[in-house]
Structures are given as C-alpha cells and as structure tokens.
Chain A
Amino acid sequence: MTTLSLDSVFRRLRDTDAWRSVVRHGTASTNRNRSLVVFENLFLHVHPVKVREKTLRFTHTYWLGGIALACALILVATGVLLMFYYHPSVPQAYRDMKELEFVVDNGLFLRNMHRWAAHLMVFATFLHMMRVFFHRAYRPPRQFNWVVGVVLLCVTLLLSYTGYLLPWDQLAFWGVSVGTNMAKEAPLVGEKARFLLLGGNIVSENALLRFYVLHCVVLPVALLLMLSVHIWRVRKDGGVQGPPEAPRGKEEVR
C-alpha cells in the first residue's frame, strides 16, 4: 500500500469521475489546462486566456473597479443575511436594528460590514470613474462602456440612498426627507415623482416598504444586469485600458 499524504489524496480526488464531471480539465500544471481553467468556467470566461502583462501592474487600473465589484459581492452576501432579520414596517424596522445589536449573534458586525462596504462602494466607484477619465480610457472604442459606467454610478448612489432609510432612525428619516424634498422641486414631474417614490406626501411606512423593495429587488437586479454588460464590454472593447501610451518607436509597421 502506498503512503497516504495529503497531496496524494487530493490527486486521487481529482481523478474521480465525480470530480472530473464538475471540473473537466486536470491540474493547472500546463498552459493548456491553465487556458481551460478560464474558458471552461462560466464566471471566469469573461477573461481572455492570456492578458497583457502590464495590465497587471498596480498603477494600470489601481484595481478600483475590482474594489467596487468586491464591495458589491460583500453587500449582496451581508444584505441577504440582514434580510433574514428585517421587517420593512414601522416600528418593527427600528426594533430589528436593536435586535441586530443586542440579540443576533454578530448582528452588529453584519450591519457594520454592510454599511462600510456601501460607503466604500460609492467612494471606489467615484475614484474608478476618475481613474478611467484621466487615463483617457473612455475614448473610442470604449465610449458606450463609459455611459454604462455612469448609469452604474447612479444605480450605486440610489442603492446606497434607498438603504439609508431602512434602519428607520432619525438619521435615516431626515436624511431621506431632505433628499426627497429636493426631488420635489423638479419642474412638472417633481411632485408626482416624489409621491410615486414615497407612496405618499411624506416619508412614511409606505416609503419604507417602497425603499425596501427598491433596495432589495429592483436596484440589485438593475445593478447585476448593468454590471454584466459593463464587465463584458471591457473584454469586448479590448481589455482594461491603462495610462495613455506615447506612440512607441519600437512598434514596426510591416
């Protein structure tokens, strides 16, 4: 009998029919298998099999879009967990905040994580936009992806803003009151739009329910769709564009 090491166990596991039915390729020890890792995986195949080495440098993108995406994933994970403990009704919504703080295991940590991730996502998205602008990465053929990015920034702000009301404390109530009072000033549609958003003329229980549905269903779905387009277009438009390059003498025309 051969000696049993962790490595050999993993190797045998990888050779089982069950494992091979999930991951069809062998270990990524050859470039062929490394290619298969990328293009046989639904989630990784937005990547090309090979990337330009310089796009991996920190100063190429500062990884800002990646930070925003990481925040989005963390927000979905913590947000779903928070939904298990939350009722979008008055005054239960506020009581649920207290429950999270004092009763639920790690409930406060969960809410903290969700809140700081939301702030970071807004900030990182803004910096990402600045990075893309000053690297002139919005220029053809990437014009449309810039527009998608602007939409994503708006969706991010709306997500953050609708979530702001949900704790139903003074901060939430008056923060949202101030914001929606501004919307009221829009000519012609302002009043109606505000009524539609709040389900009434003031921030009330109806507004809480509407913001909850927008925050947990409508806007996340919109974000997911636009984010998919955004990331797919990055690939289709030729990969991430870093700092503008001076015309290179080395480049030869045959």
Chain B
Amino acid sequence: MSTLPPIELVEGVDPVATPRRIALVRPDRRPAVRTTDEKYVMTFPNLILREVILFQLVVIGLALAAILFDAPLEGIANPLETPNPAKAPWYFLGLQELLHYFPPVVAGVLMPALVVIALVVIPYARINQTAGPLWEGAGPQRPLTLAAAGGAVVALFAAFRCWPIAVPTAGVLLAMFAARGGAGAGRVRRALTKVTLPEWIMVWFAIVATILTVIGTFFRGPGWSFVWPWTRAVAF
C-alpha cells in the first residue's frame, strides 16, 4: 500500500486561496464525541467458533438426554376415559394451578392476557428506571402508595385462599420495605436499594410463576388434591 502524502498546512490571509472552515458551537448543543478504549475482536473466528461450540454442546446434551430418558407414551387417546388428574403440559401447569383458586375466565383468560400485556408494555412504561434507592428523595407518599397497592394484592389473593401467590407477594413486599441505604444499614438491605420497581415486579412474577408451576407439576394428584411428588410419577 502506498503511503499517503503528508498533510500540508497552508496559512494565508487571502480567503479565496486558503478558505477557512468555521464551526459554530451553540452552548446548549455541545458536539460531544464519545470515545472508548473498548477492545474489539474479529467475529471470525472468535464469535463464530463459540457459536459452533455452543451448538455442538446443545446437540450433545440433548442427545444424552434422548438416550437416557424416553419420551412418555401412554395408551391411545380415549375420550371416554378421563385420567385423574388430567394435566396440561408443564409450562401451562401454573395456569392450571390457578384454576384451583379462581373461576376459569380469570385463571384461563384474564391472568394470561394480563401477563402478556404486562410483558409487552415493559419497555414503554418508564417507571423508576434510575436504579436508585426506592425511597430516596420521595415523601411519605410513595411508600404509602406501594404498601396500599401491595397490601391490596395480598388481601385479594388471600381472600381467594390462593396462598401460593399471597405468601410470596407478602415476602417480596417485606423485602421491598427492608431496603435501606446509609451506613447504619446492613449489606443486604443496602443491596436491596439497588432494585428498581420494575425489577421488584418481575422478581415477584418469576417467583409466583415458578411456585405455581412446581406445585402444579409435582404436588397435584387425583382431584387436584395436594400430594407429595414421590407418591406419583410425573410425565412430561
């Protein structure tokens, strides 16, 4: 490659022979250029090889699972013979567990619809995104509002005797209110102040969804009664 000729700086007073470039910088719009010293690497081989290895690991893992565990196959479908309990696939057992506490229109339609809507609006709902302490700089109004809203949710689920939701909700609320900044607070309580409100809600959702799914999958027997998981086989 040929080397570029060195840049010549020409100074002169004749504006036609040596035009000058003038930049106007408005004080409210400073043209800031961000530079980082971040390290970049070539996609091939660094990323591509990792992707290939990942794919191979997934194939190997699934092949091992396929060798060790057979997919279940029961008798041929018979509409006249209802198994007890009749269970949906595991990822819907949280919803089916809800059916135990709520009327079908709530458990089967309203709640899943609310979950999907809530997931979709997450990036557009700009609430408390600063990751700062939840109570900092806020008057007594914010804790009171949250306590009232959280208490109402706990009371609602408790009224339906839906303890798998009411109890974790109360637990998450307690953790939320345990968040304290300052030197006097312990490490855990200070760490809790870094959790934003959307994160509290997602933690709550993840805990409740997990608990409901685990109960529905492992702890429900004939007539949707509570059983211990070791008393019956679980089919996926």
> Contact residues of A with B, CB < 8 Å?
28, 31, 34-35, 37-38, 44, 47-54, 56, 63, 66-67, 70-71, 73-74, 90-91, 94, 97-98, 101, 108-109, 111-117, 119-120, 122, 129-130, 133-134, 136, 138-140, 142-143, 146-147, 150, 153-154, 157, 160-161, 164, 167-179, 181-187, 190, 202-203, 244, 248, 250-254
**Known contacts A50-B41, A52-B38, A116-B69: A74-B62 contact under CB 8 Å:** yes
Cβ of B15: which chain A residues have Cβ within 8 Å of it?
A: none
Q: Are B86 and A174 within 8 A (Cβ)? A: yes
Q: List residues 58-97 of chain B with CB under 8 A from any CB of chain A.
A: 58-59, 62-63, 65-67, 69-79, 81-83, 86-92, 95-96
A181 neighbours in B (Cβ, 8 Å): 104, 108
Taking the closest CB of chain A, its distance from the CB of B40, in whole angstroms, is 4
Does any Cβ of A come within 8 Å of B48's Cβ?
yes
A91 touches B76 (CB 8 A): yes
28 A-B residue pairings within 8 Å (CB atoms)? A35-B42, A38-B44, A44-B43, A44-B44, A47-B43, A56-B41, A66-B51, A94-B76, A101-B73, A112-B65, A114-B71, A116-B69, A117-B62, A120-B58, A122-B91, A130-B202, A139-B129, A143-B123, A150-B116, A150-B119, A154-B116, A160-B91, A174-B83, A174-B86, A181-B104, A182-B99, A183-B108, A185-B109
Q: Is the CB of B86 within 8 A of A53?
A: no
Distance of A171 Cα from B72 Cα, bound (Å): 8
- CB pair B70–A108 under 8 Å, yes or no, is yes
Do the beta carbons of B87 and A178 come within 8 Å of each other?
yes
- With A56-B46, A109-B66, A115-B71 as known contacts, state yes or no: A202 contacts B79, CB within 8 Å: yes
Contact with A along B139-162 (1 / 0, CB 8 A): 000000000000000000000000
Contact A170 B38 (CB under 8 A): no
Q: A37-B44, A51-B47, A94-B77 are in contact. Are A174 and B87 (CB under 8 A)?
A: yes
Contact flag A97-B73 (CB < 8 Å), given A56-B46, A170-B83, A174-B82: yes
Contact B62 A52 (CB under 8 A): no
Residue pair B82, A169 in contact (C-beta under 8 Å): no
Indicate if the CB atoms of B87 and A251 lie closer than 8 Å. no
Q: Which residues of A contact B43 (CB under 8 A)?
A: 34, 38, 44, 47-51
Interface centre among B32, B42, B107, B120 (most CB of A within 10 A): B42
Using Cβ atoms and an 8 Å threshold, which residues of chain A touch B108?
181-183, 185-186
Known A50-B41, A112-B65; judge A170-B124 contact (CB<8 A). Answer: no
**Which of B59, B71, B77, B199 is A74 in contact with, Cβ under 8 Å?**
B59
Given the contacts A112-B69, A169-B76, A170-B76, A178 and B96 also touching, CB distance less than 8 Å: yes
Whole-angstrom CA separation of A73 from B52 in the bound complex? 13
Residues of A within 8 A of B38 (CB): 52-54
With contacts A116-B65, A130-B206 known, what are 9 further pairs, Cβ within 8 A?
A51-B41, A66-B51, A101-B73, A143-B123, A170-B83, A172-B77, A174-B82, A175-B87, A178-B96
The residues of B that contact A113 with a CB separation of less than 8 Å are 62-63, 66
Q: Say whether A169 contacts B75, CB under 8 Å.
A: yes
Q: Does B37 have its Cβ within 8 Å of any Cβ on chain A?
A: yes
Chain B minimum-CB-distance residue to A119: B236
